[in-house]
Amino acid sequence: MGEKQSDRILEILWKSYELAGNFAEMNAFIFAKFCHEIFDIRIRFFLYSDMHREKVFLNEARVILQNLHLFNNSYNQAIEQKHLDIPLVKEDRIPFWFECECGVKIEIILIDSFTGLARCPSCNKEYLLEFLENFENLSTYFHNMDFNAVSRNMIMADGLGDSLFLSGSGGSLQYGHISDRISENLGFHLPVTFAWRSQDFYLGMVHNGAIHDLRKQFFLSPDDFLSGTLKGKILGSLSKIQAKITDAEVAGDKKEVKYWSGMLNNSKNQISMIKNIFATTPSFLDLLENLSGEEIIHAWNLTLDHAEIGYMNRVCQVSGKINYHTHLLSDLPSDDMSVIYENIKNIEVG
């Protein structure tokens, strides 16, 4: 913990920046290096761009193109039936991106049975993709193409024969509904899907500073943050200030009115700021700055041991709050940080 892990993280960030050709690659390198070097999790990673260069999933992609009509119909049916917040696709839209020379990813429209057209909105360059009968010539363009969220799910699952797919729990679950539907209709392999819904509760340096300031300003004890007394004590302090303003107004003392009004505004602003800090979803880098790799893994394991498990729309959903151990504020016990988050969320500033 401390300096040593921070140094290793900075080193990983710089090395990934130097190795990567673009931001997506940098992100991928950082993720993989964190798994290997900080968490000692042995996973093999690959880049989608390498896969396209090597034309690994050419056959699966061709089957999708040969069934484009069924693909797009099933796509739109899934959106309508599941009421998904995703735009419908046009009938002639190919579910792959084409990468323009300028680096922008552009959509491909089929203009006749086996010819695609891609027009770059950024540099205006146009590409005519002659796939030929039954998309025999797809390999000529494949290294410049990339799957979209839906075709990627299907092609990866079928091409690799995955038995378990770990999905994200937000937008990717919505796209998962669509890809599952199309996979069923096209006879593609469907893996068991698993998603983890969670929220991080910890006290980083920023949270710690915020709690420290709040305690000082409103004379709060550590217990106030853990029990229901936080909101009442702060409201009590605010109404005392309000009473000072009323008294000064009655006495016609403009200077005093100004002083206490300023105090009231400052207090309310400070509370809003603190509420925002605790409502923000933190960057994973902040967790790594405040906790060791071992402590993070330990918190994940504890959460998984007590998580709620549900099964919805073919997806096994695991839900659980993650409570991380805190090194700061030694007078606040760390077994349930979510209580502190909840009590701060409940403060009303009026």
Of positions 27, 59, 81, 122, contacts Zn ion by CB under 5 A: 122
Pick between residue 127 and residue 194 the one whose CB is nearest to Zn ion: 127
Position 120 contacts Zn ion (CB under 5 A): yes
Q: Name the segment binding Zn ion (CB under 5 A); options: 100-108, 136-144, 161-169, 305-313.
A: 100-108
CA 65 to CA 93: how far, in whole Å? 10
Position 108 contacts Zn ion (CB under 5 A): no
Are 217 and 270 in contact by the 8 Å Cβ rule? The answer is yes
| Least distance CB 58 / Zn ion (angstroms) | 24
Pick between residue 88 and residue 102 the one whose CB is nearest to Zn ion: 102
Position 104 contacts Zn ion (CB under 5 A): yes
* Token output for 93: 């839209």
- Nearest Cα residue to 329 out of 251, 214, 163: 214
Position 132 contacts Zn ion (CB under 5 A): no
Position 41 contacts Zn ion (CB under 5 A): no
Residue 265 class from Cβ within 10 Å (0-12 exposed, 13-18 middle, 19+ buried)? exposed
CA trace torsion 46, 48, 49, 50 (10° rounding): 40
Of positions 41, 102, 251, 279, contacts Zn ion by CB under 5 A: 102
| Least distance CB 120 / Zn ion (angstroms) | 3
Number of other CB atoms surrounding residue 344 within 10 Å: 22
Chain centroid to CA 247: 50
CA 96 to CA 145: how far, in whole Å? 6
Of positions 38, 89, 100, 214, contacts Zn ion by CB under 5 A: 100
| Least distance CB 209 / Zn ion (angstroms) | 46
Residues in contact with Zn ion by the rule CB under 5 A: 100, 102, 104, 120, 122-123, 125
